[in-house]
Amino acid sequence: MTDLVTAEGHGEHISTHPDMNVVRKTAMWVFLGSECIFFGSLIATFLLYRTETRGGPTAKELFDIPFTSASSFILLMSSLTMVLAHNARERRDPRQLRIWLLATALLGSTFLAGQAFEFTEFAHEGLKLTTSPFASSFYVATGFHGAHVAVGVLMLLALLFMSMSGRLRTGEGMNVELVGLYWHFVDVVWIVIFTVVYLLQV
Amino acid sequence: MAETVVHEPHQHRKHPTPRDYWVIAFILGVITAAEVALSYMDFLGFGGPVLLIIMAIAKFAIVALWFMHLRFDLAVYSRLFVVGIIGAISMFLVVLATFAAL
């Protein structure tokens, strides 16, 4: 307990003490585990209401699989750039770290732009949030995922600016690793959503 | 106690190189392309959805094991994640069973 209080009082100790790194990483995995349950409930709700269209457009009429596949591919590749950023951090190569962090943030932003475009198209075709239980459950499941991606992009940009301003010290690599874990998690959730919400419905 | 925990991650497994990560990403891309192709093959019947689910599980496992380093990290992280996945599947089944969708 005393150790923890001391560590909280000195920010640098939190990041550099190996035991604190294990604690922080464990906390992140607990968080990700709870997020699995959160998204599990959203996807289950979608499956429950997927046929309840109430006269509105159906999944088969709306979904543009080639477009969503391209978005999925972009998000998958952002996991590659994220792991390369992490690898650059391990090699203590700040230039490569910044390049790959920026690439990941750009790919994430492209995915978000694609989702915004998709939502706008669906709305034009008559699928509003309150059109039907299908519409609500679809927008909530995919929208919450998009919100997670947006948070991830902000964290990536924060890391990038910290690195550029010299505030991402050598001992603070755990920050990159934790953001990386979050980012990969967002990717694996999309793998499930892409299959269950899109591919299995057309 | 703390010493044991800190040293466990290495487990004598060689960490992937950047080249390995590119190969893994290529495999993920190929599986995604196969998924999209499969979604258009109506003649597969019930086999189509089953194959799509298997491919999604494969992609999920590849990202979790290699990109999230679960294969190389402390076993406790894997256990925590598996508990979350079991919780998600349980939640999934309970929701669908409660509303008579199963």
Q: Which residues have a Cβ under 8 Å from the Cβ of A141 and sit 6 or more positions away?
A: A39, A42, A43, A45, A46, A193, A197
B67 and B19 in a common domain: yes
Same domain, B33 and B52: yes
Cβ contact, residue pair B64, A188, below 8 Å: yes
Give me the pLDDT at residue A146, please.
98
Is the domain of B60 the same as that of B81?
no
Q: Is residue B28 situated within a structural domain?
A: yes
User: CA of B7: which chain A residue's CA is closest?
Assistant: A18
- Give the model's pLDDT for residue A170: 63
Among A121, A151, A117, A122, which Cα is nearest to A136's? A122
pLDDT of residue B102: 57
Q: Which of residues 136-195 of A touch B (CB under 8 A)?
A: 180-181, 184-185, 187-188, 191-192, 194-195
Confirm whether B5 is domain-assigned.
no
Q: Pick the residue from chain B with its C-alpha nearest to A38.
A: B88
Report, as an integer, the average pLDDT of B71-81: 94
- Please give the single-letter amino acid code of residue A196: V
Within 8 A by CB and 6+ apart from A171, the residues are A12, A15, A16
- One domain for residues B65 and B28: yes
Q: Does A196 contact B at CB distance below 8 Å?
A: yes
Co-location of B54 and B83 in the same domain: no
Mean pLDDT (10-residue bins), chain A, 202 residues: 39 59 93 95 92 90 93 96 95 94 98 97 94 96 98 97 84 85 97 94 80
For B52, the closest of A47, A48, A195 (CB atoms) is A195
Same domain, B65 and B88: no
- Same domain? For B47 and B82 the reply is no
Contact B56 A191 (CB under 8 A): yes
Looking at residue A169, its pLDDT comes to 72
Q: Which residues of B touch A36 (CB under 8 A)?
A: 81, 84-85, 87-88
Q: Please calculate the CA angle B68-B31-A78 and round it to the nearest 5 degrees.
A: 45
Q: Does B78 share its domain with B62?
A: no
Residue indicated by tokens 């299995």:
A200
Assigned CATH for A2-201? 1.20.120.80
Residues 6+ apart with CB under 8 A from A125: A57, A61, A62
- Closest in B2, B67, B89 to A40, CB measured: B89
Amino acid B76: pLDDT: 94
Residue of A nearest to B24 (CA): A80
B81 interaction partners in chain A (CB closer than 8 Å): 29, 32-33, 36
Chain A nearest CA to B78, separation (Å): 8
Q: Which residues of A touch B63 (CB under 8 A)?
A: 79, 184, 187-188, 191
Write down the domain spans for chain A. 2-201
Is the pLDDT assigned to residue B13 strictly greater than 70? yes
Asked whether residue B93 falls in the same domain as residue B59, the answer is: no
Shortest CB distance from A33 goes to which of B49, B74, B84? Answer: B84
Determine, yes or no, domain membership for B39: yes
How many C-beta atoms lie closer than 10 Å to residue A163's C-beta?
A: 22
pLDDT in the model for residue B77:
95
Residue B2, in any domain of the structure: no
Q: Is residue B7 part of a domain?
A: no
Q: Is residue B36 part of a domain?
A: yes
Residues spanned by the domain of B102: 74-102
pLDDT of residue A17: 64
Q: Mutating which of A39, A63, A64, A79 best tests the B interface, going by the most B Cβ atoms within 10 A? A: A79
**How does residue B87 score in pLDDT terms, banded at 50, 70 and 90?**
very high
**B55 and B88 inside one domain:** no
pLDDT on residue A7: 38
Q: Residue B1 falls within a domain, yes or no?
A: no
Supply φ then ψ for residue A176, to 5 degrees.
-65, -45
Of B18, B63, B101, the CB nearest to A84: B18
One domain for residues B28 and B66: yes
Is B6 within the bounds of a domain? no
Q: How many domains does chain B have?
A: 2
Number of A to B CB contacts under 8 A, please give it: 133
